[in-house]
Structure 1
Amino acid sequence: MQIIRSIQNRIYEIRGERVILDFDLAVLYEVETRTLNQTVKRNSKRFPADFMFQLTRQEFAVLRQEIDKLYDDEYQQVTDMSSQFVMTYPGKRPKTAQPYAFTEQGVAMLSGLLNSDKAIQMNIAIMRAFVEIRRIMLQQSDLAEQLTQIQERITGHDAQLSAIYDAIENLLDEKAAQKKWDNRQRIGFNTK
């Protein structure tokens, strides 16, 4: 479970897509980033733009701070606990070249190209992480829908309560007017 959580930390939302960057995949598959990218370039027909794209300088600059924080947090975890399940980056942080971003379909396509046992195990874990994120997003959208329904009900109830308060106020005004009418000073002839 911790490995899936570690993978989820490496899934970013860029251009409206959930993606994993090439250097993160290289670490997960235990290959060099250069080797992974060469494999992709040799099979470029398998990776259309909706499977993989290269980040712009601006996108990577924005993402860089988040990535650095992830490295620092994971480095601290590794020094605190000696667990093999916490994914670490071997020795150095990724280079400053713009990385490639792989969508879920791109990762699935990549798994067909990397056939090591580690790559197969990691691909299964990555797919589970994507599925878990999708499940969480669906739960959040369900909650948002429920909140919208509750808000609509409350708005409807507010209107109904306002109508009830107005009716009660009118009844009280009528009762006060009737009482005032009954207690008025009579004029005219007294017939008693």
Structure 2
Amino acid sequence: MLDRDLAELYEVETKQLKRAVRRNIDRFPSDFMFELTKSELESWRYQFGTTKGEIKGLRYKPMAFTEQGIAMLSSVLRSKRAIHVNIQIMRAFNNLRKMIVTHEDLKNKIEGMEKKYDKQFRIVFEAITKLIAEDEKPKKKIGYIKERKSEYGKKSRKN
């Protein structure tokens, strides 16, 4: 999550949140918090359709926090609101994790069914392919064979 979104949730100004993080920077290693690069900022802007006006107000690169970084924020901000919001965010992450596991189980079941039915369908497709191959063989024509006109009425001459 970005610093400005967290500041809004914690009901503090973004600069206060950043100041608290910078004072306790040892608590925020790179896998807890990082600053967006210029290219990431541009990508973010295009992805979410933010205008240049919204970006112009940024003097510093936004900070992005991982789940662990958000957990660490409550100890840095030290307010009842921060603790309450942190609990809500952690619950949201847990629910998200449960959904991912549920979807993973569903994905595995579908893959198992695909493998099981793939063998059966392969047999059906092979049979269909054989039938199509038989249809492609040249068929004998049905009907009368036309003879050339020149052969009609010719008498065989014996010399």
Higher-Rg member (1/2): 2
Counterpart secondary structure, 1:31: coil
Aligned match of 1:59 in 31, 37, 40? 40
Cα distance change on mapping 1:121 and 1:93 into 2, 3 Å: farther
Is residue 131 of structure 1 aligned with residue 94 of structure 2? Answer: yes
Q: Which moved more, 1:35-44 or 1:153-162?
A: 153-162
- Quick one: percent identity of the two aligned structures? 41
Match of 1:187 in 2: none
Scaled by the length of structure 1, what TM-score is found?
A: 0.58
Counterpart residue number, 2:8 = 27
Q: Which residue of 2 aligns with 1:101?
A: 64
> What is residue 151 of structure 1 aligned with on the other side?
114
CA shift for structure 1 position 161: 3.9
Paired positions, count: 125
Work out the CA distance in 2 between the residues paired with 1:121 and 1:62.
32
**Structure 1 140/54 Cα, relative in aligned 2: closer, same or farther at 3 Å?**
same
Residue number among 8, 22, 28 corresponding to 1:47 in the alignment: 28
Alignment-mate amino acid for residue 60 of structure 1:
L
Aligned equivalents of 1:46, 1:154: Cα separation in 2: 52
CA distance change for structure 1 residues 64 and 115 in 2, over 3 Å: closer, same or farther? same
Q: Deviations over 1:67-94 (max 9, x none)?
A: 457xxxxxxxxxxxxxxxxxxxxxx957
TM-score normalised to structure 2 length: 0.69
Partner residue of 1:174?
Answer: none
SS of the residue 1:98 aligns to: coil
Shift of 1:65: 4.2
Deviation at 1:105? 0.4
1:122 to 63, 79, 85: 85
Partner AA of 1:102 in structure 2: F
User: Matches of 2:39 and 2:121 in 1, distance apart?
Assistant: 48
Alignment of structure 1 residues 158-169 onto 2, 5 Å: 158-161=121-124, 165=127
Larger relative strand fraction: 1
Paired amino acid for 2:84 = Q
